[in-house]
C-alpha cells in the first residue's frame, strides 16, 4: 500500500473529526472580536505568499558563493535592502568590521607508512551546474582555528567529545603531542579542536564519516541527497559556548571605530591548526592507524577496521589564515507600530553561507523575505501593526553569530528596553515543525501551529507534529528522550517546545540580553545532512531534496508570520507563564535525577576502584587504565529552587487566569502590562553571567559548555553538578531561585495591573 | 600505563585482602571433614591437568574436516574411545543412523542488473596451513533447508527476525514470492529461513556482514582474528526450537531399526532453499538493491547504501542435498560409583565440527578429555566416586543436537531414573566464566568458581567474573541487561548464572527430560566470532586468538572437573533451592513488566491508529503502512503463580537451612535425600510440554520459539503473553503453579528426611 492514497483518506477523516476547532479557540492576547479581525488579516497575509517567489529568490541569492567578504554576499545584502524598500519598509544597511579569517595555505599529508596527500577539494558533480562554480569560493576550511605547521603521530578519537577522551584514557592512550582525527557528529564542531587542544594535541583533522551523513544514511548526491564522497563540512570553531560575536570586540558592537583587543588576547580563538576533510581524503589516514581496534560506538561506515592509533600514521598538517577584518552587512527593515512604537517584534534569518548556502541559510532567508513582502502589502493596503515590526537579514552568522551579536551589542540598551519578542529561522526543510523558544511562548506557538495547515496532509501542523512525536516514541529504537517527548505530546496541553541552546542568531537575544525568543524550522522529511556547509549546498540540491515546490517554505512563512503579526497586534503581548513554571519544574526534576545518577556513579566507580575491579576485568593483551576516582557527591539542597518555583507557579497561574478573564483594556493598562511581561525574561538573567562565561546571562537556558548546540537548562546548577563544582552548584541554586522570585514578582505586578 | 604491570600489583593486593576465604568456606553437600578430603582430591586432580596435552590433542583432532559422516569424525571417535579406555574408563561407542543432508548442488547468481556469480568458496589464507586442507571438506551450506531451484526478486530484511518483518511491513514492503537476503546475528540462524518461509519467501540467503563479526569488529584473519572477507558461517536450520534430534525419529533413539517417518512428514525440515555466503559474495547482491534506504539498525559495515529492495536485483538460487542417512558415533565412558552406582553425574561435550572445528567444538572436547584423563589417574591411584560418573563425546551436535538427543531418547527411562546432574561444555575461549544452569546449581557453581584461579590475574575466577560484570554495567553503552547483571553481581550472594536456552547438548537433558544441568565456558577476551563455523576455524587460529597456552582450557577443566567430582562425591547432592525460588521470583516480576509493557503498547498503538497518526506522521515520498491494531491486553491473574512461589520459597528456605545444619548422614538417608533432590527438576516439567512443541517439557526454561538460542523463562506463560494468546497464558499460569507446588512438596519430603 502506498501512503499517498492513505493520506488523502485519513486527512479527510481527520478533518471530519476535528471540525473548526481552530476557529473556536481563544487567541492569546486578543479579545474574541480582535481575534476574528486578526484571523482575517492572517488570511490576507497568507494570500500574499507565493512559492514561486520563494523559488526565484533562492535561485538568485544562491547563484554564487556568498560567505562574508565575498562580492555576492554584498550583492545579496543590496538585493535584500532594495526588496525591503520596494515592499514599503523603512530599511537600512548596518555595516560592521570584524575579524574573519580566510584560508591562505592548507596542506594535509600522510607521511607514512604509505604516503598520501589530501586533495582538500570538492569537484563538480554531474547534474548540479552550481557545484562547478568556482569564482569567489574559498577552499574547505574552518574559521578561528590556529595557524600552524605541525607533524606528528595520528590518533583517532571518534567524535572528539568528552566521553571519547574518557574512553581513550581507559584504553591507555592519550593525544599529547599528537595530531587527532575526529569525525563530525556527537556535538558541536568547535568543541572537537578545543578539547583536542585541552588534551595536549598539536593539530586536529575533522572528517565526515559516511556513517553519519554519507552513503550509509542514504544514496549520496547526486543520486540521492546525502554527502558525496568528497563533500567537506566547513564551519566555525570559534569558542562560541564561551562568547559569540567578533572575537576582537567582546561585549561591544564592531563598528569601524570600536576599541579592539589584540588577536592574541581573543579568548574564543583556538591555538592549534584545524582542517575539515571529506571521507575520501580521510580514509587513507584512518587506514594507516594501528593500535587497538576502535570500540563499537567509534566505528564509522568506511570498509576498514577502525583503530585508535597512536600511529604508525605520521601526519603533516599546515593551516595559515588571512587574519584581516572583513565587512559585515546587516540589513534592517522597520515598520513602525501605530500604538506602541517602542515595543519591537523582531524577526530575522541570516544571509551568509559557506559557499552557495542554498539550504543554509538561504532557504530560511528567502522564506523570511516572503513574510516581509506580504506584510508590506498589508501595510500598503492600509494596515498598521500596534507594535513596531523589525525584519533583519544577518550577515556573518556562520563564523560565530557575528552579524546578530554585533547588532545586539551595538544596540543593547535600546533592545533591552524595547525588544518584546525575537523570532528566528535558519535553514529549513519539510516535514514537522521543530520549535524551540522561551517557555512563555509555548501557548502562542501551539495556537499558531493549530492554525497552519500541513502542506502534505492538510491537517494542522500542530496535529501532524504531535502525531510524529507520539509515533516516534513508540519506535523500537526510540531513545529515552524520544519517549519523554512522546509522553509530553500525548499528555500536555500544548505542542512541546524545546529550550534554546545555540547554533543560530537567537543566542545574543535570549542568552545575552534576556529577550523572549523563538526559533523555528520544518524538518524531518528532507535529506539535507550530507551537503551541509559544502560546495554541494546548492539550489539544485534544495529543490530536489529540500522542499520541492516550496510548500513548506510557505507553511513556515505562515507560521512565523502569524507569530510576528499576533505579537505585534495583540492588546497584551501573547505570552503566558504557566508553561514557564511547568517546564522549569521538569528541569528541576532533571537536576534531582542528575544528582542521584552522579552520586550512584561515583559510589559505584569508587567501590570498584577499591577492589581493583577495573584492572581485574581488563584484557591483559590490551593497554588499559582504570577511570579516575570520583569526588563523592555531597548533599546539594535544591529546596530554595523548589520553594521559589512554588511561588512562581502560583504567580503564573494567577496571571494566566486573569489574562483569560480580561476584557478590553485601556491603552495605558496595555502598555504597563507589556512592560511587565517583557520584564519576565530579563528577570531570568543574571548580569554576572554563567560560570566562566559572563557573556551568557540566562539562568534557565544556555548552550552546554561541552555540548555546544544542545541546551542545558538551569545551566549554572546543572553544569556545576556535572563537573563536581559543589560550591558553585549551591551558589547558582541561590541565584536561580532569586531569578525565579524576581520573575514571580514581575508577574504579580502584571496581574495587579490586569485586575486594577 | 600497561595493564600487565597493574594486574600483577593488583592481584597481589587482592590476594592479601581475601586470604584463604575459599578454604574456610563450607562446601555444599559435604561435612567439613569430607570437604577437606575433597579439596585434597581436587588438588591431585589439578596436578593431572596439562596444557600441553590439551594443545597436542587439539592439533590431532582438528587436523582434518570432521563433520558427521567424514572419515576423520569416525577416526576422532575411535581416538576418543581408545583414550578413555587407556585412562581406565569403561568406554563404548554407541552408533545411531540419522538423516543428515549434505550438499549435492549449490548455485547463486545475480541475473541483473549486473550479472554476478557467487563463488561459494573459502580460499586458503597465508599462515594457516590447515585452511588449505580440502580433503573431506564440504562446501559451505546449511543443513535441513529445502531443495529448490528458484528465481526471483531480492529483498533485504536485516537480521530476518520478527521485528525486522514488522519494520519491513511498516515500510510498505513484503517478501511474498521473493528471495530474501538477511545477515547473520540478532537471533538463531534457523529462524531466518523459517520466518522468511512463513512470510512467503521462496528462498533465503544468509550472509555474514562485516559489522557483526568481520573487519568492523577488529582486524580480519589472518592479520587479526575476525571473519575474513570470504569466510562463511555454516550451520543447521533445523527447526530446533520445536524439537531437537533426528527429524525422522521424533521422541525415540535413532537406532538402526528405529521406526522412521517419511522425510515429507518431518516437521523440523524447512521447505525453501537456503544458502549461507560470505560478505564478499553478498556485496554485489546488496549493491544491486534499490527501494528505500535501510533504516539505521539495518545498516551493516559494507561501503554501500543498504536498500531494502524489492529488486531490481533478480536472483537465481539452487540448493540440492543428498538426503541419505549417516552414522553418528557417540562415545560413552563410565566410572561406576562405589556407593550409589545408580546415580549418574554426566559430563559431555560434542565432537563434530563443520570443517576442522578447532574452536567449535574441539576446544571444549579436548578440555573435557583432559578431565577424564585426570579422573582416570585418580581412579588408578585407588579413588572411587560415591556416584557413577559418565563422560560422553557427542557426535552430530551441529546439525541439531542429534548425538545427545538420540542418546537421551534411547535411554530416556534410565536417565530419568538415574541422572543426577548433566554438565556440558562446547567451544571455549578465555576471559570470564559464563555459566548457565538449573537455578538449583547456582551455589555449587559459585563455590567452585571461588576455588579456581583465573590464569591471567591469579584471583579467583569468581572474583574476576563478578568484577567484569560490575564494570560492564557501568559502561556508558551498557544495556539494561548489562545493568541488571551488574546489580545482581554487586548485591547477590552468588556469581549470577543464566537460565538455559539452547545451542548445545544440555537441551535434551534439561528441557526434554528435566535433568538438572549446567553449561560452562570461558569467554570475553578471545576473538572468535569471525571464524565460527567456517573453513578458518583452525588449530592455527585457536592458538593465536583463542586460548594461547591453553591456560583457560586448564581453568575450565578445573571448574567442570570440580563440579563433576563434588556432585559425584558429596554425601547429599550439592544442590540447594533458595536460589531456585529467588530466580523464579525475578522471572515472575519480569512477567508483570511484560504484561504492563504489552498493555501500554497496545493502548498507545490503538489510540494512534484511531487518530490516523501513523499515516499522518509518514513521509509521503516513501511507501509505508501503519502497524496492525493490537488485541487489548486483558487481566491475566499471576497470583496462582505467586502463591505457589511463596510456598516454594518457604520450602526451599527450610531445606537449605536443614542441609546446612546437618551432620553426617546414614547411607540410606543420603540415598533417600538424593532421590528427592533429583526429583525437583523433574517436578518443573510437564509431560504435555510447551504450546506447539510438546518435546520441550520444562516449564521454567526453554529456548525462545522466536529467539532460538536465548532462554525464555516460564516460557508457557511468557510466550503466550508475547503473542496475545490469553487463554493459553492463563492455562500455563496454572500449570506452572502446579509444578512449583510439586517441587515444594518434594523439597518438603527432603527436609523431613534430613530432620528424621
Q: End-to-end CA distance of chain B: give it in Å, rounded.
A: 61
Q: How far A292 CA sits from the closest chain B CA (Å)?
A: 9
pLDDT at A671 over 90: yes
Mean pLDDT of A505-524: 98
Q: What nine digits make up the cell of B279? A: 560478505
Could you read off the pLDDT of B57-106 as tens digits, one per residue?
Answer: 999 999 999 999 999 999 999 999 999 999 999 999 999 999 999 999 99
Q: Do B299 and A301 touch (CB under 8 A)?
A: yes
Q: What angle do CA A628, A632, A636 make, to 5 degrees?
A: 135
Q: What nine digits make up the cell of A206? A: 575533522
Could you read off the pLDDT of A17-26 as tens digits, one per residue?
Answer: 333 333 446 8
Cα B738 from chain centre: 28
DSSP type of residue B631: P
Asked if B527 contacts B218 with a C-beta cutoff of 8 angstroms, the reply is yes
- Contact list in A for residue B163 (CB cut-off 8 A) is 476
B276 φ, ψ (degrees, to nearest 5): -95, 140
Output b/e per residue, B627-660; b: 16+ Cβ within 10 A: beebeebeebebebbbebbebbbebbbbbbeebe
Asked if B553 contacts B370 with a C-beta cutoff of 8 angstroms, the reply is yes
pLDDT at A488 over 90: yes
pLDDT at residue A706, as a whole number: 86
pLDDT at residue A741, as a whole number: 98
Q: How far A615 CA sits from the closest chain B CA (Å)?
A: 6
Q: Break chain B into its structural domains and give their ranges.
A: 18-29+42-99+326-569, 102-323, 578-755
pLDDT at residue A16, as a whole number: 34
DSSP type of residue A532: T
CA distances from A731 to A32, A633, A643, A683, A693 (A): 46, 16, 16, 17, 15
Could you read off the pLDDT of B627-646 as tens digits, one per residue?
Answer: 999 999 999 999 999 999 99
Q: Do B216 and A624 touch (CB under 8 A)?
A: no
Give the one of A13, A216, A476 whose C-beta lies nearest to B612's C-beta: A13
Q: What nine digits make up the cell of A208? A: 565526515
pLDDT at residue B26, as a whole number: 87
Could you read off the pLDDT of B666-717 as tens digits, one per residue?
Answer: 999 999 999 999 999 999 999 999 999 999 999 999 999 888 778 999 999 9
Q: How far B695 CA sits from the closest chain A CA (Å)?
A: 33
Asked if A696 contacts A511 with a C-beta cutoff of 8 angstroms, the reply is yes
Mean pLDDT of B359-370: 98
Q: Do B620 and A467 touch (CB under 8 A)?
A: no
pLDDT at residue B707, as a whole number: 81
CA nearest neighbour of B194 among B140, B102, B269: B269
pLDDT at A10 over 60: no
Number of cross-chain residue pairs from A and B with Cβ atoms under 8 Å apart: 183
**Paired strand residues for A150:** A317
Query: pLDDT-based confidence at A167, cuts 50/70/90?
Result: very high
CATH architecture of residue range(s) B102-323: 3-Layer(bba) Sandwich (3.50)
Report the alpha-carbon distance of residue A488 to residue A465 in Å, rounded.
Answer: 12
pLDDT at residue B80, as a whole number: 98
- For domain A3-97+326-461+498-569, the CATH superfamily is Zn peptidases (3.40.630.10)
Asked if B396 contacts B100 with a C-beta cutoff of 8 angstroms, the reply is yes
Q: Do A623 and B3 touch (CB under 8 A)?
A: yes
- In chain B, which residue's Cα lies nearest the Cα of A212? B296
Q: Which H/E stretch holds residue A117?
A: strand A116-117
Q: End-to-end CA distance of chain A: give it in Å, rounded.
A: 61
Report the alpha-carbon distance of residue A652 to residue A671 in Å, rounded.
Answer: 19
- Contact list in A for residue B299 (CB cut-off 8 A) is 211, 216, 301
Q: CA Rg, chain B, in Å?
A: 26
B449 φ, ψ (degrees, to nearest 5): -65, -25
Asked if A148 contacts A272 with a C-beta cutoff of 8 angstroms, the reply is yes
Could you read off the pLDDT of A274-295 as tens digits, one per residue?
Answer: 999 999 999 999 999 999 999 9
pLDDT at residue A21, as a whole number: 38
CA nearest neighbour of B354 among B119, B103, B51, B182: B103
ipTM over 0.90 threshold? yes
CA nearest neighbour of B225 among B473, B536, B442: B536
Q: How far B97 CA sits from the closest chain A CA (Å)?
A: 45
Q: What's the mean per-residue pLDDT of chain A? A: 94
By percentage, how much of chain A surpasses pLDDT 70? 96
Could you read off the pLDDT of B194-231 as tens digits, one per residue?
Answer: 999 999 999 999 999 999 999 999 999 999 999 999 99
Q: What nine digits make up the cell of B496? A: 549470577
B32 φ, ψ (degrees, to nearest 5): -55, -40
At which residue does the C-alpha cell 601526519 appear?
A: A315
Could you read off the pLDDT of A432-480 as tens digits, one per residue?
Answer: 999 999 999 999 999 999 999 999 999 999 999 999 999 999 998 999 9
Residues found in chain A = 756
At which residue does the C-alpha cell 564494570 appear?
A: B471
Residues 6+ apart with CB under 8 A from B725: B691
Mean pLDDT of B46-56: 98
- Contact list in B for residue A623 (CB cut-off 8 A) is 1-3
Mean pLDDT of B733-755: 97
Q: How far B114 CA sits from the closest chain A CA (Å)?
A: 18
**How many Cα atoms occupy the beta-carbon half-sphere of A432 within 13 Å?**
24
Asked if A395 contacts A330 with a C-beta cutoff of 8 angstroms, the reply is yes
Q: Do A470 and B4 touch (CB under 8 A)?
A: no
- In chain B, which residue's Cα lies nearest the Cα of A15? B611
Q: What nine digits make up the cell of A537? A: 549546498
Q: Do A2 and B619 touch (CB under 8 A)?
A: no
Q: What's the mean per-residue pLDDT of chain B? A: 94
Q: Do B7 and A615 touch (CB under 8 A)?
A: yes
Q: Do B303 and A305 touch (CB under 8 A)?
A: no
Mean pLDDT of A585-601: 97
Alpha helices in B288-437 (DSSP H): 364-380, 397-400, 402-410, 412-418
CA distances from A184 to A209, A277, A282, A315, A356 (A): 7, 10, 12, 19, 21
Burial (CB count within 10 angstroms: exposed 0-12, middle 13-18, buried 19+), residue A240: buried
Query: pLDDT-based confidence at B8, cuts 50/70/90?
Result: very low
Could you read off the pLDDT of A675-719 as tens digits, one per residue?
Answer: 999 999 999 999 999 999 999 999 999 999 888 778 999 999 999
- Contact list in B for residue A217 (CB cut-off 8 A) is 293, 305
CA nearest neighbour of A588 among A736, A373, A371: A736
- Omega prior to B310 cis, within 30 of 0: yes
Virtual torsion, Cα B62, B63, B69, B74, nearest 10 deg: -80
Give the one of A13, A216, A472 whose C-beta lies nearest to B299's C-beta: A216
The domain B18-29+42-99+326-569: what is its CATH number?
A: 3.40.630.10
Report the alpha-carbon distance of residue A404 to residue A412 in Å, rounded.
Answer: 11
pLDDT at residue A405, as a whole number: 98
DSSP type of residue A535: T
A156 φ, ψ (degrees, to nearest 5): -100, 130
Asked if A77 contacts A331 with a C-beta cutoff of 8 angstroms, the reply is yes
Give the one of A1, A220, A456 whose C-beta lies nearest to B625's C-beta: A1
Q: Do A10 and B474 touch (CB under 8 A)?
A: no
Residues 6+ apart with CB under 8 A from B278: B122, B140, B207, B208, B227, B228, B229, B230, B231, B232
Q: What nine digits make up the cell of A391? A: 525584519
Q: What angle do CA B548, B220, B544 make, to 5 degrees?
A: 10
By percentage, how much of chain A surpasses pLDDT 90? 93
Mean pLDDT of B611-621: 95
Report the alpha-carbon distance of residue B642 to residue B733 in Å, rounded.
Answer: 10
Q: Which H/E stretch holds residue B57?
A: helix B51-61
CA nearest neighbour of B26 among B572, B746, B394: B572
Q: What angle do CA A430, B604, A589 make, to 5 degrees?
A: 80
Q: What nine digits make up the cell of A350? A: 541570516
Report the alpha-carbon distance of residue A707 to residue A721 in Å, rounded.
Answer: 15
- Contact list in A for residue B468 (CB cut-off 8 A) is 616-617
Residues 6+ apart with CB under 8 A from B365: B61, B80, B349, B350, B351, B393
Give the one of B218, B297, B623 whose C-beta lies nearest to A293's C-beta: B218
Q: Do B457 and A220 touch (CB under 8 A)?
A: no
Site from B1, B221, B300, B613 to mutate, A interface, most A CB atoms within 10 angstroms: B613
Which top CATH class is A578-755? Answer: mainly alpha
CA distances from B129 to A429, B64, B469, B538 (A): 58, 11, 38, 9
Burial (CB count within 10 angstroms: exposed 0-12, middle 13-18, buried 19+), residue B153: middle
Asked if A477 contacts B299 with a C-beta cutoff of 8 angstroms, the reply is no
Site from A216, A221, A621 to mutate, B interface, most B CB atoms within 10 angstroms: A216
Q: Do B616 and A459 touch (CB under 8 A)?
A: yes
Report the alpha-carbon distance of residue B271 to residue B279 in Å, rounded.
Answer: 25
CA distances from B130 to B325, B528, B536 (A): 28, 17, 8
By percentage, how much of chain B surpasses pLDDT 90? 93
CA distances from A714 to A496, A588, B335 (A): 18, 8, 72
Amino acid at each position: 500500500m502506498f501512503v499517498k492514497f492513505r493520506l488523502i483518506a485519513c486527512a479527510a477523516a481527520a478533518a471530519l473529526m476535528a471540525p473548526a476547532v481552530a476557529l473556536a479557540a481563544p487567541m492569546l492576547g486578543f479579545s474574541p472580536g480582535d481575534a476574528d479581525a486578526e484571523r482575517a488579516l492572517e488570511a490576507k497575509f497568507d494570500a500574499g505568499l507565493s512559492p514561486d517567489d520563494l523559488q526565484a529568490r533562492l535561485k538568485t541569492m544562491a547563484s554564487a558563493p556568498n560567505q562574508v567578504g565575498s562580492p555576492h554576499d554584498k550583492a545579496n545584502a543590496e538585493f535584500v535592502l532594495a526588496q525591503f524598500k520596494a515592499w514599503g519598509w523603512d530599511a537600512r544597511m548596518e555595516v560592521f568590521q570584524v575579524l574573519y579569517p580566510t584560508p591562505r595555505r592548507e596542506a594535509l599529508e600522510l607521511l607514512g607508512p604509505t604516503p598520501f596527500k589530501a586533495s582538500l577539494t570538492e569537484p563538480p558533480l554531474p547534474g548540479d551546474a552550481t557545484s562547478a562554480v568556482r569564482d569567489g569560493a574559498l577552499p574547505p576550511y574552518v574559521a578561528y582555528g590556529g595557524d600552524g605547521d605541525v607533524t606528528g603521530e595520528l590518533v583517532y578519537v571518534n567524535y572528539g567529545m568528552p566521553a571519547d577522551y574518557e574512553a581513550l584514557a581507559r584504553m591507555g592512550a592519550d593525544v599529547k603531542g599528537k595530531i587527532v582525527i575526529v569525525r563530525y557528529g556527537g556535538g558541536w564542531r568547535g568543541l572537537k579542536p578545543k578539547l583536542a587542544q585541552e588534551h595536549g594535541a598539536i593539530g586536529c583533522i575533522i572528517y565526515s564519516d559516511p556513517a553519519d551523513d554519507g552513503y550509509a544514511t542514504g544514496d549520496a548526491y547526486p543520486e540521492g541527497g546525502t554527502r558525496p564522497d568528497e563533500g567537506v563540512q566547513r564551519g566555525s570553531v570559534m569558542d562560541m559556548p564561551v562568547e559569540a560575536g567578533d572575537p576582537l570586540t567582546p561585549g561591544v558592537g564592531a563598528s569601524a571605530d570600536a576599541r579592539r583587543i589584540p588577536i592574541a588576547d581573543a579568548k574564543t580563538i583556538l591555538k592549534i591548526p584545524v582542517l575539515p576533510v571529506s571521507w575520501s581524503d580521510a580514509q587513507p589516514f584512518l587506514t594507516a592507524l594501528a593500535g587497538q581496534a576502535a570500540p563499537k560506538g567509534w566505528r564509522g561506515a568506511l570498509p576498514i577496521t577502525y583503530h585508535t592509533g597512536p600511529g604508525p600514521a605520521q601526519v603533516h598538517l599546515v593551516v595559515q589564515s588571512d587574519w584581516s577584518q572583513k565587512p559585515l552587512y546587516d540589513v534592517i527593515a522597520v515598520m513602525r507600530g501605530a500604538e506602541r512604537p517602542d515595543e519591537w517584534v523582531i524577526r530575522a534569518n541570516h544571509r551568509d553561507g559557506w559557499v552557495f548556502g542554498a539550504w543554509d541559510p538561504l532557504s530560511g532567508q528567502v522564506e523570511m523575505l516572503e513574510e516581509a513582502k506580504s506584510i508590506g502589502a498589508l501595510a500598503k493596503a492600509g494596515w498598521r501593526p500596534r507594535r513596531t515590526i523589525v525584519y533583519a537579514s544577518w550577515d556573518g552568522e556562520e563564523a560565530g553569530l557575528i552579524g546578530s551579536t554585533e547588532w545586539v551589542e551595538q544596540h543593547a540598551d535600546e533592545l533591552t528596553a524595547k525588544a518584546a519578542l525575537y523570532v528566528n529561522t535558519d535553514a529549513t526543510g519539510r516535514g514537522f515543525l521543530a520549535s524551540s523558544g522561551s517557555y512563555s511562548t509555548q501557548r502562542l506557538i501551539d495556537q499558531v501551529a493549530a492554525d497552519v495547515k500541513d502542506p502534505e496532509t492538510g491537517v494542522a501542523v500542530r496535529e501532524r507534529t504531535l502525531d510524529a512525536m507520539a509515533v516516534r516514541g513508540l519506535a523500537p529504537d526510540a531513545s529515552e528522550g524520544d519517549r519523554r517527548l512522546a509522553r509530553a505530546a500525548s499528555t500536555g496541553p500544548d505542542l512541546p517546545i524545546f529550550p534554546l541552546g545555540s547554533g543560530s542568531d537567537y543566542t545574543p537575544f535570549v542568552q545575552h540580553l534576556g529577550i523572549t525568543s523563538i526559533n523555528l524550522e520544518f524538518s524531518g522529511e528532507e535529506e539535507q545532512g550530507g551537503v551541509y556547509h559544502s560546495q554541494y549546498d546548492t539550489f539544485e540540491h534544495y529543490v530536489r531534496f529540500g522542499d520541492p515546490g516550496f510548500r513548506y517554505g510557505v507553511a513556515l512563512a505562515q507560521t512565523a508570520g502569524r507569530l510576528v503579526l499576533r505579537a505585534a497586534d495583540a492588546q497584551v503581548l501573547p505570552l503566558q507563564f504557566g508553561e514557564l513554571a511547568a517546564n522549569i519544574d521538569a528541569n528541576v526534576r532533571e537536576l534531582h535525577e542528575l544528582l542521584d545518577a552522579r552520586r550512584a556513579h561515583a559510589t559505584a566507580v569508587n567501590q570498584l576502584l577499591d577492589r581493583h575491579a577495573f584492572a581485574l576485568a581488563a584484557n591483559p593483551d590490551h593497554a588499559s587504565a582504570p577511570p579516575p576516582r570520583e569526588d563523592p557527591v555531597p548533599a546539594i539542597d535544591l529546596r530554595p529552587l523548589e520553594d521559589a518555583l512554588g511561588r512562581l507557579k502560583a504567580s503564573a497561574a494567577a496571571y494566566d487566569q486573569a489574562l483569560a478573564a480580561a476584557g478590553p483594556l485601556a491603552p495605558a493598562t496595555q502598555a504597563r502590562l507589556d512592560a511587565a511581561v517583557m520584564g519576565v525574561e530579563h528577570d531570568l538573567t543574571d548580569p554576572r553571567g554563567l560560570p566562566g562565561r559572563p557573556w551568557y546571562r540566562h539562568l534557565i537556558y544556555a548552550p552546554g559548555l561541552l555540548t555546544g548546540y544542545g541546551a542545558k537548562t538551569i545551566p549554572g546548577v546543572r553544569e556545576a553538578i556535572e563537573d563536581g563544582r559543589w560550591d558553585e552548584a549551591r551558589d547558582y541554586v541561590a541565584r536561580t531561585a532569586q531569578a525565579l522570585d524576581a520573575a514571580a514578582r514581575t508577574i504579580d505586578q502584571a496581574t495587579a495591573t490586569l485586575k486594577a
